[in-house]
Structure 1
């Protein structure tokens, strides 16, 4: 049995470096202009791509280029030209969705490895076999598949690499093949300009007249009821101070399914989130790195694999829309009940910028407020450890009992805490909340 690849998002060169530091085996990054995160893509040109590819290969890692827009006629020639230039840089694979471009790449660059994007919505083994016949080496499976379907596909097609999403945002449409953004703000999601209209807050108004000023805001709780199926339960639309997020699903967290995916022989476990912060990326990669390594080791030792509490705890240091197992397991494949769920175990307190050996202190960019009395943990690529604070200076250089977000400060470490510049670039302070039983 082989150990599956941990594949992390790289929204830019900085995020790519954090992903590798915390244990990713490979990253996927957007091709400039021609990926589905084109408006937020930090890889702006071929020079950025070349630097990223060289950085990955120098560390024995892989760099996949996401080129997965669904182009219209006007973009075909420019997309072809850009693809050829990108292929010449030597990415380990191209992630492509459009069937015409898959065929064209196989014709003009037959040695280029092609992975089928999730945008192609592969949901059964016949479709996967079809793409395999066209020379696709790996299929990135649709998020809408259940675990049993994924495992069956691998059993039927053992020679085809399969990649499965294990963590990140879930689209209310079919793996992103959505027209909502285009309809609301005239920005086409299938050309890389999604406005995330499904995740934005909305208000319900009563229309009392033809003019905008004739609308009044709805008050109280409200529900949706199918008029053609009155026997069905009403759908509650929860609303907070920001509005209702009826179309925004909770995020996928499949960490509990990792053992079954490893035993099923899946080649790649994919994390979503090219626009997330470096802290979010680092913590999620850390969680799945620990989970994969420990489960793989247990399986090789003939033991029944189990997820460690530390792996579980890592994802509870993140806030967001809440977590679910998606379509993989459970009676509720997607959950729209919550707008926002705060982190459970802790949150990032500060990102470490550099280390001063003479004073044994670190300069930090404060992300959330913390005080001398807070329980802090030092998070580095080597792990997390409790780290009491000796003293702190604020951005003016004066002694401080509290550091506030949006500022820089200096934290002085106890003498027994070992730290050096090799850890400084990719480290954080985490503010630990009182622990709960897992």
Structure 2
């Protein structure tokens, strides 16, 4: 059984380096001004891209350039010019959504490997064959597909690389082709300016005119009920203090589907989240690295394979909107009560900035408040394990029992933590919940 590529998001150079450190085989990064994360893209210019591509290739890894904006006429020539300049830097592939640009690239730079973006919404084997005939090397399948449909496309297109999302945010629209943001705030998601209107809380008010003097919130709660299907449970629309999140889907977590996808021979497992934190990225990449490796090793040994408990535990340390397997497997439970669920396993309390081997001191950036008597774990590319903290100092260098978020400080480890010198800048402290 081949091991699928583990593909991680790279919102900037720092995130890219953490993704590789924690086990990613490849990263995808946005092209400046012409990806669907244009506003949050940390790769601001060609120099940033060149540095990222060179770093990836030095490690023997791959760097894919996301160029998946769906341009209007006014952007076509600028997009073409930018693409040609980026291609000269040597990315391993371009992720493209617009069919006109796929055709243009095949004519002007036929040697360039093209991956068809999920924005193209490929949902069947006939469409996959069409794109393959046009010279597309890989297709990123639509997130609306069921597992059986994904498997069938791979069976019918065995020589075409297929990539599937396994973790991250999911749109309520068709794999991101959403107009809600454009309607609400005049920010076009298909031009890279989505403002996540579907994730925001909304409230219903009792007055027809918002500016009237007796303007007030409606008292009570609201539900939706299908009048033609009264046996279905009503959907509550006003659940918490902030409002309703009716349009905000749970996050995808395909951990339970990993064995099936590997059996089907899928080529690449993709993690969503170019705007997520360094900690989130590191933990999720590590979890899926362990899941993939454990299943592959079990298969090679002729044993029934399943996702390891360690991989599942790693995912439990990540915040989200509540997890689901998407359309791949089983029902689609939604979370109408909140747009956020805390990690079950614990929370990140500090990111290590540097390590002094002589004094065993870690200089840290504090993310959440923690004290000397808290139970802590180290998260490193090599694994996650308990550690003993002997003492701490605050940002002024004074002894302290507590470190607070938004500051820097020092943590002094006992010898039981082992040699951390090889992991400097690549591990975190985790606070386990009681």
Q: Please state whether the residue corresponding to 2:349 is helix, strand or coil.
A: strand
1:323 aligned partner: 323
**Counterparts of 1:149 and 1:348, CA distance in 2:** 38
1:121 aligned partner: 121
Question: Do the aligned partners of 1:324 and 1:335 also contact (CA within 8 Å) in 2?
Answer: no
Count of residue pairs brought into register by the alignment: 434
1:84 aligned partner: 84
Query: What RMSD in Å do the two structures reach over aligned CA positions?
Result: 1.4
**Counterparts of 1:201 and 1:176, CA distance in 2:** 19
2:273 aligned partner: 273
Provide closer, same or farther for how the CA distance between residues 155 and 210 of structure 1 changes in structure 2, counting only shifts above 3 A.
closer
CA positional deviation for 1:232: 4.7
Q: Are 1:291 and 2:291 matched, yes or no?
A: yes
Question: Do the aligned partners of 1:327 and 1:333 also contact (CA within 8 Å) in 2?
Answer: no
CA positional deviation for 1:242: 1.9
Question: Do the aligned partners of 2:11 and 2:275 also contact (CA within 8 Å) in 1?
Answer: yes
Question: Do the aligned partners of 1:326 and 1:334 also contact (CA within 8 Å) in 2?
Answer: no
2:48 aligned partner: 48
CA positional deviation for 1:307: 1.0
CA positional deviation for 1:231: 5.9
**Counterparts of 1:53 and 1:75, CA distance in 2:** 25
**Counterparts of 1:213 and 1:219, CA distance in 2:** 17
Q: After superposing the two structures, state which structure 1 stretch, 260-269 or 230-239, moved more.
A: 230-239
Question: Do the aligned partners of 1:354 and 1:421 also contact (CA within 8 Å) in 2?
Answer: no
CA positional deviation for 1:310: 0.6
Provide closer, same or farther for how the CA distance between residues 240 and 105 of structure 1 changes in structure 2, counting only shifts above 3 A.
same
Gapped runs of 5+ residues in structure 2? none
Question: Do the aligned partners of 1:322 and 1:338 also contact (CA within 8 Å) in 2?
Answer: no
Provide closer, same or farther for how the CA distance between residues 202 and 281 of structure 1 changes in structure 2, counting only shifts above 3 A.
same
CA positional deviation for 1:245: 1.0
- Superposition pairs of residues 196-275 of structure 1, within 5 angstroms: 196-209=196-209, 211-226=211-226, 232-275=232-275
1:401 aligned partner: 401
1:391 aligned partner: 391
**Counterparts of 2:249 and 2:333, CA distance in 1:** 10
**Counterparts of 2:321 and 2:333, CA distance in 1:** 15
Q: Are 1:424 and 2:419 matched, yes or no?
A: no
1:160 aligned partner: 160
Q: Please state whether the residue corresponding to 1:406 is helix, strand or coil.
A: coil
- Cα deviation 1:102-122 (Å, max 9, x = unaligned): 000011000000000000000
1:191 aligned partner: 191
TM-score for the superposition, normalised by structure 1: 0.96
2:382 aligned partner: 382
Q: Please state whether the residue corresponding to 1:63 is helix, strand or coil.
A: strand
**Counterparts of 1:296 and 1:174, CA distance in 2:** 32
2:414 aligned partner: 414
**Counterparts of 1:325 and 1:12, CA distance in 2:** 28
Q: Please state whether the residue corresponding to 1:8 is helix, strand or coil.
A: strand
Q: Please state whether the residue corresponding to 1:288 is helix, strand or coil.
A: helix
Q: Please state whether the residue corresponding to 1:70 is helix, strand or coil.
A: coil
